Amino acid sequence: MAVMKRTIQIHPNKCMGCHSCELACSFKNEGVFNPIFSRIFVKVDKEFHSPLTCFQCEDAWCDKACTKHAIHRNPYSGALEVDKELCVGCKICTIKCPFGLIVMNQHKQAIKCDLCGGNPECVNACTYGALSYSAYDKSAKEKRDKIFEHLKKSQASLVLQLNDLN
Amino acid sequence: MKYFGYMGKILWVNLTKKKIYEEDLSHSLIHKFVGDFGIGAKFAFDLIDTGIDPLSPENFIIIGAGPLTGTSIPSSSRIHAFSKLPLTGTVGACGGGMGFGAKMKYAGYDHIIITGKSKTPVYLKVDEEPEICDATDLWGKDLFDTTNLLWEKYGPHSGVMAIGPAGENRVKLSLALIDKYSSLGKGGLGAVFGSKNLKAIVAHGHKGVQIADPERYHRLNNEIRKEISQHPVQQGDWEPLLHLMGQTHNMRETCDIETATRKFGPKAYEESVIIGKAACPSCLLGCRDNMKVKDGKYNNLQSYIAGIGGRTILLGLRLGMESVESIVKGTDLIQRYGMDSHALGGILEFAQELYERGYIGEEELNGTPLMGSDQSVLGTLKKIAYREGIGDTLADGAIGIIKKYGSKTEKYSCHIKGLDAQMEPREIKMSPLGFSQVTNPRGGEAKPGMLDPLVFMQKVNRDFVETFCEKAAIPKKTQRKMFNSKNQVNIARLTRHTEDYYVAYSSLGICMRHNITPFYSMSRLADLYSAVTGINMSQTDLKDASERVWNIWKLSNMKNGYCRKDDRFPLRWSKELIDRKGEKTKSIFLRDFYSKDLTNKQPINKFLDDYYSERGWSKKLGVPLSEKLINIDLDQEGQRCKKLNCYKKIRQIMESGNCNPN
């Protein structure tokens, strides 16, 4: 059965900056511990940290830009994957991605998050709850429920503390 | 030559000659001393000459990262720096965390060895092209500003180790901070940086850490992570800390737990301060505190610390600051100046007692008290950091103060080898945690005892201790010798093995905080090491290497004349500790874990005798002799000590009798 709707969800306020996700990703996919070959990026600004990774766009810039048609959607995981056989390292996808979430690896090929085929290693590595792997419509519903609960509790105030809710 | 786990390179930096070169990490060093702490200790022995002034250009700073650092093994970010420390005169192993170790390895180096002295302020940039850079702009700036500026220049992903004004002014209570959070160098490493005109080291790079056996690594790593995630994360509890370090009035009274908790406990923090957590790379237990004051005089003040609990006890209970907000302010100042808060607490209380007893005169204080209120504590901190007025004396630590006010004042101090004892053994009874401070070659610091299985236990049975012994790979034969007929374990003998166990963690680069160690054991450490480096190592090998490392560390201190006379209990420990908790005031005296009295010479000497005998050292001198050294493959080092006449000097010191232990 396809589980197409699951994606990696990011909860930045829970991130502690331990870089476990980066390390796990680079080890699983490139066999080495080196954050620059990771497909997930822990952005740091002094004391604020947050992971960022591919959103698996439905109508993807990278896919449309690839002249070799090397980017395909995995029907099982729903992730867009780079076909190593076809990729020639032209870097157009890295230029086209508006989020900057495709990079090149040590073999000069494009690398991007492929959800590890449906069992993302980064999510397994994160113990702080900054990453979760769930269906986005489910998580949207959860958020709605939370907001509703919040409204119920604080009927007087409609100012939502979004940080608390995340 | 291909390296797994290790990066295979050592970076040598001579600041006098402005020369940088790299050297391969030799396999014989790896096999004998493992890494990080171990190899650092070996270099310290080889490089740091006998009798040099810690603040002279001849001193070295030897920074090392372990073979597991930079990988995803939980809590594998610990680094160690060896140097001759100005506060104590000992060769100390300073430990720290955060991102510097991993970044240093990604830049391609396992060790950075710095010597010499630059004419002008500099910082060291460690990446693919290491460079000594001008730091005139940074000199004089506080630690947080320095770190921010370097992050702005080299990107927020770089690891920054820096000193503050205290280090620049060669305050012996100064240290270096890593990424603002983690302290490195209790005992004056900051002053060593300052004496070399070295403001900071910044590391970043793109080289990866290779793994020899990815499959085995993956299996082991998953096992540990699974175990950790199945246990609730234990953060440092408040109350045990009060028993360990909450003694007030210069270690004369226990604190009132109820009042302390009401004023400064976790709840008080929740009300006034937003506390966020941060973690070292690869750590699952994020224990660093990122604080922001919500309200009041210090509204919006933001500061960073490796754990606010200890600082609260120090500034609130011991030095008398008034509220949690002002404690955050005090912590912020200590961090910005780059000072060691534990040592500060000891020194200020010691000075206060000297003042009360009339040794320090009114005129020296200039009308401003040393401690007791927000204003006085903040003022004194500044005086020490900039060596102003009385601060100039206090900045030299316990030994400096005793020198100035006479040896009569010695009995009021709680220092061991010049470093103020970190943990108080009277309230919790003497277990390896307390005793390890006495035997620590660096001085009164409790890290090697952190693996103590007995601490906070009321009673233990033999099975419990034996389980620990299995974990720490203590051979069955040795284990049997450690118990008496009542199945009680010998604390002194157990201490030796906790020390070895600590060295094993430290040589691989793994943190030994109490919430991490339950998930590791000597055999697991050896397994991880083998999987990462491809060098097969059994738990016995690792235990043996750890013993070798401890011995060579001891030797480098022996070269400077440290022997049995220095492994001494502070005189204050043999006096009473007044407990006002109950309705009636009680006196607590120092007892060992099984409540045997430890206040006079005879049992104390027995304690030390047992420890030396478990180590296989000379009981008379408290150091390893050549027979022992041959057994553990340190023959050459022993010969070198002989050539330097170390043993002869130590015999003379011990025989002169004027500094007999206790």
Is the model's pLDDT at B353 over the cut of 80? yes
CB B191 within 8 A of CB B170: yes
> Whole-angstrom Cα distance, residue B205 to residue B7?
12
Q: Is B191 inside a domain boundary?
A: yes
Q: Is B273 inside a domain boundary?
A: no
pLDDT at site B367: 87
Mean pLDDT, to the nearest integer, of B478-482?
A: 94
- Angle of CA points B64, B496, B36, to nearest 5°: 10
Q: How far is A59 from chain B (nearest CA, A)?
A: 32
Provide the residue type at B566 as one letter: D
Among the ranges given (A112-116, B272-276, B333-337), the one the predictor scored with the smallest mean pLDDT: B272-276
Percent of chain B with pLDDT over 70: 98
DSSP letters for B279-327? --TT-SS--EEEEEE-SSTTTT-EEEES-HHHHHIIIIIIS---SHHHH
Confidence of residue B660 (pLDDT cuts 50, 70, 90): very low
Q: What is the CATH number of the domain that holds A43?
A: 3.30.70.20
Q: Smallest Cβ distance to A17: which of B106, B218, B278?
A: B278
Mean pLDDT, to the nearest integer, of B8-30?
A: 96
pLDDT at site B14: 97
Mean pLDDT, to the nearest integer, of B539-556?
A: 97
Is the model's pLDDT at B38 over the cut of 80? yes
Q: Is B84 inside a domain boundary?
A: yes
| β-bridge partners, A9 | A132
pLDDT at site B662: 32
* pLDDT tens column, B109-134: 999 999 999 999 999 999 999 999 99
Confidence of residue B522 (pLDDT cuts 50, 70, 90): very high
Is the model's pLDDT at A109 over the cut of 80? yes
Q: What is the CATH number of the domain that holds B151?
A: 3.60.9.10
Is the model's pLDDT at B548 over the cut of 50? yes
Q: How far is A155 from chain B (nearest CA, A)?
A: 24
* pLDDT tens column, B83-107: 999 999 999 999 999 999 999 999 9
Is the model's pLDDT at A5 over the cut of 80? no
- Alpha carbon distances (Å) from B431 to A78, B327, B457, B499, B595: 57, 31, 10, 13, 11
For chain A, the domain total comes to: 1
Question: B284 vs A18: CB contact, 8 Å cut-off?
Answer: yes
Q: How far is B203 from chain A (nearest CA, A)?
A: 14
Mean predicted lDDT score pLDDT of chain B: 93
Write down the ipTM of this complex: 0.89
Q: Is B152 inside a domain boundary?
A: yes
Return the DSSP state at B448.
Answer: G
- Alpha carbon distances (Å) from A144 to A137, A149, B381, B390: 11, 9, 51, 61
Confidence of residue A148 (pLDDT cuts 50, 70, 90): confident
Confidence of residue B355 (pLDDT cuts 50, 70, 90): very high
CB B241 within 8 A of CB B422: no
CB B133 within 8 A of CB B125: yes
Residue B235 sits at the chain A interface (C-beta within 8 Å): no
Q: Is A166 inside a domain boundary?
A: no
Mean pLDDT, to the nearest integer, of B48-53?
A: 94
Is the model's pLDDT at A46 over the cut of 80? no
Phi-psi region of B298 (alpha: psi -120 to 50; beta: other; left: phi over 0): alpha
Using a CB-CB cut-off of 8 Å, the residues of chain B touching A27 are: 71-72, 211, 214, 218
Question: A17 vs B180: CB contact, 8 Å cut-off?
Answer: no
Mean pLDDT, to the nearest integer, of B623-627?
A: 94
Residue A97 sits at the chain B interface (C-beta within 8 Å): no
Is the model's pLDDT at A1 over the cut of 80? no
Confidence of residue B379 (pLDDT cuts 50, 70, 90): very high
Q: Smallest Cβ distance to B72: which of A27, A30, A47?
A: A27
Q: Is A109 inside a domain boundary?
A: yes
Is the model's pLDDT at A157 over the cut of 60? no
Residue A38 sits at the chain B interface (C-beta within 8 Å): no
Q: Is A57 inside a domain boundary?
A: yes
Provide the residue type at B370 as one letter: L
pLDDT at site A152: 78
Helix, strand or coil, per DSSP, at residue B508: helix
Residue A30 sits at the chain B interface (C-beta within 8 Å): yes
> Whole-angstrom Cα distance, residue B170 to residue B245?
27
Please tell me which residue of chain B has the smallest CA distance to A125.
B225
pLDDT at site A3: 47
- Residue B661 vs residue B621, higher pLDDT: B621
Counting Cα atoms < 13 Å in the Cβ hemisphere of B604 gives 20
> Whole-angstrom Cα distance, residue A53 to residue A49?
13
Burial of B361 (0-12, 13-18, 19+ CB in 10 A): exposed
Q: What's phi and psi for B142, nearest 5 deg?
A: -75, 170
Among the ranges given (A3-7, B50-54, B80-84), the one the predictor scored with the smallest mean pLDDT: A3-7
Please tell me which residue of chain B has the smallest CA distance to A24.
B72
- Angle of CA points A12, A16, A18, to nearest 5°: 120
Mean pLDDT, to the nearest integer, of B541-567?
A: 95
Is the model's pLDDT at B285 over the cut of 90? no
Q: Is A143 inside a domain boundary?
A: no
Q: Is A79 inside a domain boundary?
A: yes
Q: How far is B535 from chain A (nearest CA, A)?
A: 18
A109: containing domain: 6-136
CB A104 within 8 A of CB A30: no
Please tell me which residue of chain A has the smallest CA distance to B284.
A127
Mean pLDDT, to the nearest integer, of B599-604?
A: 91
pLDDT at site B430: 93
Question: B208 vs A19: CB contact, 8 Å cut-off?
Answer: no
For chain B, the domain total comes to: 1
Q: Is B112 inside a domain boundary?
A: yes
Helix, strand or coil, per DSSP, at residue B126: strand
Q: How far is B301 from chain A (nearest CA, A)?
A: 14
Q: Is B40 inside a domain boundary?
A: yes
- Compute, in degrees rounded to 10, the torsion defined by CA atoms B514, B86, B420, B595: 70
Confidence of residue A144 (pLDDT cuts 50, 70, 90): confident
Using a CB-CB cut-off of 8 Å, the residues of chain B touching A26 are: 208
* pLDDT tens column, B410-421: 999 999 999 999
- Residue A148 vs residue B72, higher pLDDT: B72
CB B199 within 8 A of CB B139: yes
Is the model's pLDDT at A2 over the cut of 50? no
Mean pLDDT, to the nearest integer, of B58-62?
A: 97
Q: Is B188 inside a domain boundary?
A: yes
Is the model's pLDDT at A47 over the cut of 80? no
pLDDT at site B234: 64
* pLDDT tens column, B210-235: 999 999 999 999 999 999 888 876 66
Q: Is B94 inside a domain boundary?
A: yes
Question: B286 vs A18: CB contact, 8 Å cut-off?
Answer: yes
Residue B207 sits at the chain A interface (C-beta within 8 Å): yes
Is the model's pLDDT at B341 over the cut of 80? yes
Confidence of residue A165 (pLDDT cuts 50, 70, 90): low
* pLDDT tens column, A54-65: 999 999 999 999
> Whole-angstrom Cα distance, residue B617 to residue B628?
7
pLDDT at site A164: 53
B180: containing domain: 9-203
| β-bridge partners, B94 | B81
pLDDT at site B233: 66
Q: Is A84 inside a domain boundary?
A: yes
Strands B176-178 and A48-53: unpaired
> Whole-angstrom Cα distance, residue B486 to residue B48?
46
Is the model's pLDDT at A71 over the cut of 50? yes
Confidence of residue B661 (pLDDT cuts 50, 70, 90): very low
> Whole-angstrom Cα distance, residue B336 to residue B476?
49
Evaluated on CA atoms B197, B200, B206, B207, the torsion sign reads positive
Q: Is A165 inside a domain boundary?
A: no
> Whole-angstrom Cα distance, residue B418 to residue B388?
22
The three state secondary structure string of B329-365 is HHHHHHHHHCECHHHHHHHHHHHHHHHHCCCCCHHHH
